[in-house]
A and B are shown apart, each in its own frame.
Chain A
Amino acid sequence: MSAEAVVTSGIATTLELSTPIVFGGLGGVLSERSGVLNIALEGTMLVGAFGYFAGAAATGTVIGGIVLAVAAATSGALVLAWLAIHANADQVIAGMAVNLIASGLTDFLYQAIYGVSGTAPVPGMGPVGIPLLDKIPVVGPSLFDQSLLTYLALLAVPAVSFWLFRTRAGLHVLAVGERPEAADSAGLGVYKIRYLSVAASGVACGLGGAFILTQVSSFSSDMTAGVGYIALAAVIFGNWRPRGVLVAAVLFGAFEALQSILQSLGVSVPYDLLLAVPYLVTIVAVSGFVGRVRAPQADGVPYVRS
């Protein structure tokens, strides 16, 4: 491979790998900024991936897949929301429960509906070049020749950021996630805001799951393979900010891309070690080496009105 080709494919792979992390991470930010700790990103994305598969298989269309992905993941997120907001469950355990249920349920449904032999691949989403821009050398074919969902992820970052920090609704989410009793005494509906935020997180995870499935066009068990946990790491590394999540996602994506490029060049690297990189980087981040990260004050704390 020429050096140019290596850089091009490196950037392209990085973006591709970052996309589900960005979606999951934005989901995590939305949920946790409202005070609901979201360990369930992994399971929610898995449900989203399965939803896409089922929707696309049933309708034969991409749109059908995306609609069902979002619907399924949002339902999954609402299970977490109910456990965390109304059942006052420990939110770490509730999140893990959702992940385990998602893993078992998607497996079961896949086997029950499509049988052991499975079914034909469903329509995926290939790269779509942006006219003119994709002709620019190096950045053209890497940045501007991606899946529509990747473009959406990149646009969602400033959009969520604006919504959270520049709108009235965003201020209410922040207030609820910092001090729900203060928000309550200001007349904000704490429970409603939390449910909506977690539902929004489900939408983001649904898109992330859909993206993972569109890359391969068929479902396999636990196919999110830890992306949801990496997204969780990106939330922390990104200091619960959408832009921070993007930086983290690209960083983590780049490490993975590097690994696959090295492998394709015949350099042997211990695969498992590279897989651990996002988590190591996150540990470094939270231990205060790179400035301080600080979780929303009421993250993970259920609100009980006295």
Chain B
Amino acid sequence: MRELQLVGIDKRFPPGVRACADVTLTIRAGEVLAVLGENGAGKTTLMRIAAGVTRPDRGSVVKDGSRLALGSPRDAISHGIGMVHQHFMLIPRLSVAENVVLGFEGGSRLLDRSTLRRSVESFSEQVGLRVDAGRLVEELAVGEQQRVEILRALYRGAEVLILDEPTAVLTPTETDGLFRVVREMASAGKAIVFISHKLHEISQVADRVVILRNGELVAERPPTTPLGELAALMVGRPVEVPTRSGTAASESVALELAGACSHGAPGLDSVSMVVGRGEIVGVAGVDGNGQVALEEVLAGIRQLSGGTLSLVGEAPERTSPTTMRRLGLVRIPSERHRDGIVAPASVWENLVMFDLHRLGFARGGALRVRAARRRAEQLVEEYGIRCGSIDQSVGELSGGNQQKVVIARELAADPSVVVAAQPTRGLDVGATAGVHRALLEHRERGRAVVLISADLDEICQLSDRVYVMYEGRVSGTAAPSERERIGRLMAGVAA
């Protein structure tokens, strides 16, 4: 294969969203093509069309001059086009080997598990993506699952490999590993499409960058283009990156954990930390090192099995989300879809749901709909939430706007402590800047923020001080300027 062309691709979704607008794009063998764009710009839709998952309204996919008929993913696979989806397409209760060969088992009607496993393992060594083929996918870490996804695409004979936000869930080390694999595949003559919201990754891995905005292809640039320019092309206007100003002013403590322990895998192992008023305290760490336990302990969902938690001087014996909220602590949850929003409910319902009593919107069990809606309108205005109307269901909004709904709801009560867990995961540059601005403003008002994030850039950019978590413990503290040291602490290397 020399090149794959998308020609004049058009795609609309009801009710009138134009996800792709006459996009023409060439993907060449031996090169890594980065595709950038805001949330909802149409990156995923365009690539799903190339991978045979979605059918375009108009336009065609052309490989080396001949037009392909892509009726299903299977057709695309047979033409050597493979895609690793934003949300993985693996079957958790099947083994790695079964997932890799599914649908391509070859001759025999019987399954010989050990042969299967050996052949998948030897293939994985051949392409340099080591996996333990006998394990169940549900037992694997995200990074390993992604290796399985890539391995599967290669096993099916992919010459064009589309990676949709592959680094969103990876650790810095895993990301480096992925980039190595991607570069190797490109030099072996494969064509790689790489979608990401992290602009600084582009120069590390891409040969060429295209930018989508509102479904249109608006620009093509070399990977050396300044990040500010790329961001402006994506959003359509310059993006201001909010920065921290001044040093944290206060000595008074808003939140304190002393020797906190909690059960879980991993739980917390005597974690001590102090968060003062008017500062953002970053909690860095690779996913799965106790951040979820910390988040849940602070939110009052999980109980401490040892140590103490005190909030504005009070140390509640038993915590619950209600008591923590009453004491002025709110959370922006890491599992946005599960814990942050009620997807089928409307924007206004989501915006006021926790505040019905405080704001007097519920009298004697009856909801004062008109007042609550007015309040929601205000918040939509104030936080720049983009939605058709406040009656639209939150599930229909883009990821960035869903997160704005959560942030608006949580910050509206002016809480004394905000626990923000992975607050910008999956969000585009513009939305990320919006979230960062909201957190920084909260800090300016003399409130405290606990920023739990696996994104080292975010941590260094926003925090006044940094704690690093490793295997449920605080492995060290650092200043936000000590990026290298934080990276080492995250990897569990003594620093």
Most buried by A among B53, B72, B73, B103: B103
Are B93 and A168 neighbours in the complex by a CB distance under 8 Å?
A: no
Query: Would you call B91 an interface residue if the criterion is a C-beta within 8 Å of the partner chain's C-beta atoms?
Result: yes
Contacts of B93 in A (CB 8 A): 174, 178, 297
Contact A306:B53 (CB < 8 A) given known A186-B104, A297-B93 = yes
* CB closest residue in chain B, given A306: B54
Are B103 and A186 neighbours in the complex by a CB distance under 8 Å?
A: yes
CB A281 to nearest CB in B, in angstroms, measures 25
Are A187 and B77 neighbours in the complex by a CB distance under 8 Å?
A: yes
Are B103 and A188 neighbours in the complex by a CB distance under 8 Å?
A: yes
Within 8 A of B (CB), among A168-201: 168-172, 174-175, 178-179, 181-188
Are A182 and B90 neighbours in the complex by a CB distance under 8 Å?
A: yes
Within 8 A of A (CB), among B57-105: 72-74, 77, 85, 89-94, 98, 102-105
Task: For chain A, give the interface size range.
Answer: 20 to 34
Query: Would you call B110 an interface residue if the criterion is a C-beta within 8 Å of the partner chain's C-beta atoms?
Result: yes
CB B347 to nearest CB in A, in angstroms, measures 24
CB < 8 Å neighbour of A175 from B54, B74, B102, B108: B102
The CA of A179 and the CA of B94, in the complex, are separated in Å by: 10
Contacts of A175 in B (CB 8 A): 91, 94, 102
CB B157 to nearest CB in A, in angstroms, measures 13
The CA of A201 and the CA of B338, in the complex, are separated in Å by: 35
Query: Would you call A215 an interface residue if the criterion is a C-beta within 8 Å of the partner chain's C-beta atoms?
Result: no
* CB closest residue in chain A, given B54: A306
Are B91 and A179 neighbours in the complex by a CB distance under 8 Å?
A: yes
Indicate with 1 or 0, residue by residue over A274-302, a CB within 8 angstroms of chain B CB atoms.
00000000000000000000000100000
CB < 8 Å neighbour of A171 from B53, B89, B105: B105
Contacts of A170 in B (CB 8 A): 111
Indicate with 1 or 0, residue by residue over B444-488, a CB within 8 angstroms of chain A CB atoms.
000000000000000000000000000000000000000000000
The CA of A183 and the CA of B93, in the complex, are separated in Å by: 13
Query: Would you call A61 an interface residue if the criterion is a C-beta within 8 Å of the partner chain's C-beta atoms?
Result: no
Query: Would you call A167 an interface residue if the criterion is a C-beta within 8 Å of the partner chain's C-beta atoms?
Result: yes
CB B162 to nearest CB in A, in angstroms, measures 12
Are A182 and B105 neighbours in the complex by a CB distance under 8 Å?
A: no
Are B111 and A178 neighbours in the complex by a CB distance under 8 Å?
A: no
Within 8 A of B (CB), among A136-175: 166-172, 174-175
Contacts of B109 in A (CB 8 A): 167-169
CB A244 to nearest CB in B, in angstroms, measures 15
The CA of A189 and the CA of B433, in the complex, are separated in Å by: 44
Contact A171:B77 (CB < 8 A) given known A178-B92, A297-B92 = no
The CA of A296 and the CA of B491, in the complex, are separated in Å by: 36
* CB closest residue in chain B, given A162: B110
The CA of A183 and the CA of B74, in the complex, are separated in Å by: 10
CB < 8 Å neighbour of A183 from B54, B77, B102, B111: B102
Contacts of B74 in A (CB 8 A): 186-187
The CA of A172 and the CA of B85, in the complex, are separated in Å by: 21
Contact A182:B89 (CB < 8 A) given known A168-B105, A168-B109 = yes
* CB closest residue in chain A, given B51: A185
Contact A167:B110 (CB < 8 A) given known A185-B53, A187-B72, A187-B74 = yes
Contacts of A185 in B (CB 8 A): 53, 73, 85, 89
Contacts of A166 in B (CB 8 A): 110-111
Contact A186:B102 (CB < 8 A) given known A175-B94, A179-B91, A297-B93 = yes
Are B110 and A168 neighbours in the complex by a CB distance under 8 Å?
A: yes
The CA of A167 and the CA of B91, in the complex, are separated in Å by: 17
The CA of A18 and the CA of B77, in the complex, are separated in Å by: 47
The CA of A188 and the CA of B73, in the complex, are separated in Å by: 10
The CA of A169 and the CA of B91, in the complex, are separated in Å by: 16
* CB closest residue in chain A, given B85: A185
The CA of A178 and the CA of B90, in the complex, are separated in Å by: 10
The CA of A172 and the CA of B74, in the complex, are separated in Å by: 15
Are A179 and B102 neighbours in the complex by a CB distance under 8 Å?
A: no
* CB closest residue in chain A, given B102: A186
Are B102 and A171 neighbours in the complex by a CB distance under 8 Å?
A: yes
Indicate with 1 or 0, residue by residue over A81-123, a CB within 8 angstroms of chain B CB atoms.
0000000000000000000000000000000000000000000
Contact A171:B98 (CB < 8 A) given known A179-B89, A182-B90 = yes
Contact A178:B110 (CB < 8 A) given known A185-B73, A185-B89, A187-B72 = no
CB A295 to nearest CB in B, in angstroms, measures 11
Contacts of A167 in B (CB 8 A): 109-111
The CA of A234 and the CA of B372, in the complex, are separated in Å by: 49
List the interface of chain B (C-beta within 8 A of A).
53-54, 72-74, 77, 85, 89-94, 98, 102-105, 108-111
Q: Can you identify 28 A-B contacts, CB atoms within 8 angstroms?
A: A167-B109, A167-B110, A167-B111, A168-B108, A168-B109, A170-B111, A171-B98, A171-B102, A171-B111, A172-B103, A174-B93, A174-B94, A175-B102, A178-B91, A178-B94, A179-B89, A179-B91, A182-B90, A183-B102, A184-B72, A185-B73, A186-B74, A186-B102, A186-B103, A186-B104, A187-B74, A187-B77, A306-B53
11 additional A-B residue pairs with CB within 8 Å, beyond A171-B102, A186-B104: A167-B109, A167-B110, A167-B111, A169-B109, A182-B90, A182-B91, A183-B102, A184-B73, A185-B85, A186-B74, A306-B53
What 6 pairs between A and B have smallest CB-CB spacing? A187-B74, A186-B103, A185-B73, A182-B89, A186-B102, A187-B103
